[in-house]
């Protein structure tokens, strides 16, 4: 009886969902939506500014949101509060790893196999290039594909390379923790400044500049660099937790 009632309920609910999604005003059929009246299309066309002229790379100024990469505009400007939540999720996961594996971490895991000479010396040489690539990706998030999250992941991979290539190497994990707290605090402070001066949290209060320049797009590059630092230091902390053990 109970199963039968449940089946009936599910059937009715399913029928209602199908009917409500089928070709009415709110959900038109596939391909028939009038996207030009939707908000997202307006943002992509940037015609919500007062002067909906052409966007010319390297010349156009005073845009709705400055970056040349529309994904960055969505992630770090329109939905920046959501990104703050994502960074918090990453922070909670790194906290979980630290709670499970942490403790008085004193020294590296003792392995009975060692990296060979070429790896040990070569990783020291490649480390600079890899780290610089990560920094470049984090800084240029508003101009090129990429941004804070991939840049932070690249920074953490360079640390992982050093951990794998040297048995004695241990990063200054205290510095990483300080960097992480600094980046998170600065992110929230920028948001609060926007709230005080502009009226809502994380408002883009700086000048947007010329599209395509390095110094443009208001607070977006600053926020993205902070995200990159935070992600990089958190993932480095996770790596450190996995590769160390308690001891004297």
Partner 1 sequence: MKYVATFLVLFVSYIALAGIHVQELLLGAIVSAILTVILAKHVNYTIDYRFPVKLLVFIFAYLPLFVWQLVLSNLAVARIVLSPRIKKHLNPGFVKINTDLKGDFAKLTLANSITLTPGTLSVDIDGNDIYIHTVYIKGKTPEENRQNISAKFEKVLGVVFK
Partner 2 sequence: MEIASYIFMTIGGLFYLLGGLGILRMPDTFNRIQAGTKATTLGAFTLLIGIGFNNPEWFPKLLLIIVFIAFANPIGSSALAKASYKSCDLPDNLVQDDLIDLFGGKEDGPS
Partner 3 sequence: MMDIIVFSLIGLGVLFAVSRLLIGPTPADRVVSLDTFNIIVIGVIALLANQFENSLYLDIAIVYGILAFIETIVFARYLEGQHGDC
Q: Which parts of this chain interact with partner 3 (CB under 8 A)?
A: 111, 113, 115, 119, 123, 126, 130, 133, 137, 144-146, 150, 154, 157, 160-161, 164-165
DSSP-derived secondary structure letter, 29 = P
**The pairing of beta strand 105-108 with beta strand 244-246:** antiparallel
Can you list the pairs that 52-55 forms with residues at least 24 positions away whose Cβ atoms lie under 8 Å? 55/211
145 binds, options partner 1, partner 2, partner 3, none, Cβ within 5 to 8 A by partner type: partner 3
Which position has the token pair 């005073």?
Answer: 62
Out of 42, 119, 173, 186, name the contact with partner 2 by CB under 8 A: 119
Structural tokens at position 169: 């190497």
Q: Which of positions 75-114 make contact with partner 2 (CB under 8 A)?
A: 112-114
Under 8 Å between Cβ of 225 and 172: no
Binding-site partner at residue 213 among partner 2, partner 3, partner 1, none, CB < 5 to 8 Å by type: partner 1
| Interaction of residue 76 with partner 1, rule CB under 8 A | no
| Smallest separation, CB 169 to partner 1 (Å) | 8
Report the nearest approach of partner 1 to the CB of residue 142 (Å): 13
Cβ closest to partner 1, residue 38 vs residue 172: 172
Nearest to 164 by CA among 229, 242, 234: 242
Q: Does residue 56 sit in helix, strand or coil?
A: coil
Distance CA 9, CA 12 (A): 5
Q: How far, in Å, CA of 244 to CA of 232, rounded? A: 18
Binding site for partner 1 (CB under 8 A): 116-118, 121-122, 124-125, 127-129, 131-133, 135-136, 139-140, 162, 169, 213-215
Binding site for partner 2 (CB under 8 A): 112-119, 122-123, 125-126, 129, 167
């Amino acid at each position: 009886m109970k199963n039968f009632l449940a089946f009936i309920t599910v059937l009715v609910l399913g029928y209602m969902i199908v009917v409500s999604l089928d070709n009415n005003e709110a959900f038109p059929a596939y391909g028939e939506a009038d996207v030009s009246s939707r908000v997202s299309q307006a943002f992509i066309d940037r015609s919500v500014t007062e002067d909906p002229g052409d966007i010319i790379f390297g010349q156009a100024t005073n845009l709705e949101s400055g970056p040349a990469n529309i994904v960055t505009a969505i992630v770090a400007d329109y939905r920046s509060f959501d990104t703050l939540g994502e960074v918090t999720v990453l922070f909670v996961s790194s906290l979980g790893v630290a709670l499970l594996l942490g403790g008085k971490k004193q020294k590296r895991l003792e392995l009975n196999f060692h990296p060979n000479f070429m790896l040990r010396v070569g990783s020291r040489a490649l480390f600079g290039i890899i780290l610089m690539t990560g920094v470049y990706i984090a800084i240029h998030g508003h101009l090129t594909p990429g941004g804070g999250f991939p840049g932070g992941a690249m920074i953490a991979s360079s640390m992982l390379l050093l951990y794998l290539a040297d048995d004695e190497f241990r990063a200054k994990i205290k510095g990483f923790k300080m960097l992480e707290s600094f980046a998170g605090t600065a992110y929230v402070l920028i948001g609060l400044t926007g709230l005080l001066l502009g009226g809502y949290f994380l408002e883009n209060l700086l000048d947007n500049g010329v599209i395509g320049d390095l110094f443009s797009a208001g607070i977006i590059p600053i926020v993205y660099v902070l995200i990159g630092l935070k992600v990089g230091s958190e993932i480095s902390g996770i790596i450190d937790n996995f590769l160390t053990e308690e001891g004297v």
